[in-house]
Amino acid sequence: MKTTNVTIEDVARACGLSRATVSRVINGESNVKPLTVEKVNKAISELGYHPNIHAQALSGGGARTVGILLPKTWRSYYSLLLSGIEEIAAKEGYYALVMTRDYLNNSERIFDEGRVDGFIFRNMSHVKEHEKLLARLQKKNIPFVLIGNPLRDYPAITIDNVGGGRAVAQHFATHGFKKVIFLSGPKDNIDSNDRYFGFRIGFEERNMDPEGILRLQGDYSTKSGFNAVSEVIQLYRPDAIFAANDRMALGAMLCLHKNGLRVPEDIAVAGFDDSYFAKYVTPALTTVRQPFREMGTAAMKELCSMLGNGATRGGKIILPIKFVVRASCGCPYGHDESIDKLDSDENSE
C-alpha cells in the first residue's frame, strides 16, 4: 500500500477495528487494551500513517507540540538549551514550536487555536509583562515551565546564580582584589541581581568590604560592557571586573585594551555563562559555566510530567554551576585543548 495520504480509516480497516478505537490509541487514552494498542501501532508503522495534529487537537487529543518562547534569537547558548529540550521532546513524542517575536501577546492565542499543549519560557527581562501573562495562563490551567527567572511559585528551572557570584568573589579574594567593578545586567533582571547578591556575600565571607564593589549598569550586550567601563576607567582604576555575563566581560576587555590596559596584568576580568567564545579570546576568560543543555532537559521533563498527569509541581529546580578558571583573572592557564578537539566537542553538541 502507498504510504501517502494514508487515513485513520485505512489504519482501522487494516486492524479490523473501529475508527474510534484507533483514535483513542493515537490520542494515548488509557481505556484501551495493551494488545489493541500494539496492533494499532504496528499498522500505523507499516502503513506509514501520520496523525493530523490539528485534528487531534480538535478532538481533545492535544497537538503533541510545545511552544518554546525565547526573548531574542541572537543568544548563542540557545542552541544548547534547544538541544536539551528537543532531546526529551523527541523521546516523549512532542514537537517544539520556537517563538521569538511578540510571544507575550500571541501565546494565549496559539494555545486556544490548539497549536500547542503547553509552554516553556526562557524569561529574562520584562518581569511585569511576564507576570501578567503567566497569571492568565495559570487561571486558564495552561501548563508552562520557566527557564531562568523564577517568578512567584511558578514551575521553574534555574541555576545557582548566588553561588556563582559567590565563587567569583572568593576567587578574587585569593588574588587580593579589593577594588572591583560589577557589570550588572538590566535593573529588573533577577539573574543579574542574584549574581550581584552572591558576589557581595563572597566578599563578606572573606572579611572584605562589599562597599569596595562599584556597580555599573549594562544590558548584557557587548557594547554596554564597553560603554560602562569607558565612562569610569579614566577616573577609577579597579583591581578586577566581574561581569554578569560573558558578552559584557568581552566588552570590558575590549575597552581596557583600547585604553592601553592589559588583562590580567593591570586589571583582571571574569564573566558568567561560559559562552562559546570564552575559551578563544586572549586571554581566555575566567567565567561561571551554566548547564544550558541540562536546563532544557529538565524543563521539558517537567512540562511532560505536567501534560501527562495534569499535576503542577510548583516551585523551582536549582541546577549547580561550575566555576571555570582560565587566564583572564591572573591564574596560570595551559592551552592544552587543540582547535580540532574544540571543534569536535562543539559539533557533537
Match 550588572 to its residue by C-alpha cell: 184
Domain extent listing, the chain: 8-51, 65-154+293-320, 161-286+325-347
Secondary structure element (H or E) that encloses residue 197, with its range: helix 190-205
Q: Is 115 exposed, middle or buried (0-12, 13-18, 19+ CB in 10 A)?
A: middle
Q: How far apart are CA 208 and CA 183, in angstroms?
A: 19
In eight-state DSSP terms, residue 273 is B
The predicted structure's pLDDT at residue 310? 59
pLDDT reported for residue 62: 60
Q: List Cβ neighbours of 271 (8 Å cut-off, separation of 6 or more).
A: 242, 243, 245, 246, 247, 248, 249, 250, 278, 285, 286, 287, 288
**Low-confidence residues of the chain: pLDDT under 50:** 1-3, 58, 336, 338, 340-341, 344-345, 347-349
Burial of residue 209, with CB atoms counted within 10 A of its CB: 0-12 exposed, 13-18 middle, 19 or more buried: exposed
Residue 269, amino acid: V
* pLDDT value for 124: 62
Q: Which CATH architecture has domain 65-154+293-320?
A: 3-Layer(aba) Sandwich (3.40)
Tell me if 65-154+293-320 shares its fold with 161-286+325-347: yes
* In this structure, CATH architecture of domain 8-51: Orthogonal Bundle (1.10)
Cell numbers standing for residue 147 = 527557564
**CATH number for the domain formed by residue range(s) 161-286+325-347:** 3.40.50.2300
Q: Which residues pair with 319 in a beta bridge?
A: 159
Give the distance, in angstroms, between the CA of residue 36 and the centroid of all CA atoms in the same chain: 40
